[in-house]
Amino acid sequence: MEPFDDLDDDTTGTTFRDVILLALIGFVAMVVMLLPHIHKAKTDAEDYKPPGNVIFEIHWPNDMPYDVDLWVKAPNEAPVGFWNQGNNVLNLLRDDLGAENDASNRNYEMVFSRGIPAGEYIVNVHMYGEIPPGIEIPVKAVVAVREKYGSTSQLLQTTVTLRYRNQEETAYRFRLTSEGELAKGSVSTLRRNLLTRPGAGHEK
């Protein structure tokens, strides 16, 4: 009986090795299959470009917990912002709530257009929530146009300072041609409120 006992031990060892080998092969195959998807996700994030023809953005310091809002008006359209997030021309892509209330580690908002209607555009910055006395929030406002082959060209950039609740400032008023070019002499900061009753009746 001893030769048969040796045979059983050897068979058991071989079976165990086969199981381990198959598990290892399966693991390697899974990793190989997942690698292209991991790489693609990274590439997509790196190559991400905002949609739209005209792109309006605001940025403020990432460590600030304050809720700042972007409002934009296109020709012959109602203003777009957090409580009216789209119309025939514009769409709000992101409503940021500030560092403490938002999962992102970046403070920014973005509006983009579909097409480039010729006429006047107004870009406003609004302080939505409370802000302690003595605090100033520098808000960078940028306007860019997507060119023919997909690249973007910056048209305007400025910084607006917010100091109190419901403060609304006009960063720009300007006119665009249908080709996305600034009309000569059209850029100004002449104030025009886009919120009819700032902060009233519109809670996030």
Rounded mean pLDDT of 87-102? 81
- The pLDDT score that the predictor gives to residue 129 is 85
Rounded mean pLDDT of 59-76? 94
Contact (CB, 8 A) for 69 and 80: no
- The pLDDT score that the predictor gives to residue 7 is 43
List the beta bridge partners of residue 125: 70, 169
Instruction: Tell me what the pLDDT averaged over the chain comes to.
Output: 80
Is 20 in a helix, a strand, or coil? helix
Q: What is the pTM of this model?
A: 0.71
Distances (CA, A) of 181 to 70, 102, 118, 124: 22, 35, 9, 20
- The predicted-structure confidence for 5-61, as pLDDT tens digits, reads as follows 554 555 555 665 665 666 666 665 565 555 555 444 433 333 445 567 999 999 999
Rounded mean pLDDT of 75-98? 90
| Residue 73 pLDDT greater than 50, yes or no | yes
State both tokens at 192: 């025009």
List the beta bridge partners of residue 176: 119, 182
- The pLDDT score that the predictor gives to residue 200 is 46
- The predicted-structure confidence for 133-157, as pLDDT tens digits, reads as follows 999 999 999 999 987 767 789 999 9
Sheet containing strand 119-127, strands side by side: 68-73, 119-127, 168-176
State both tokens at 9: 């031990």
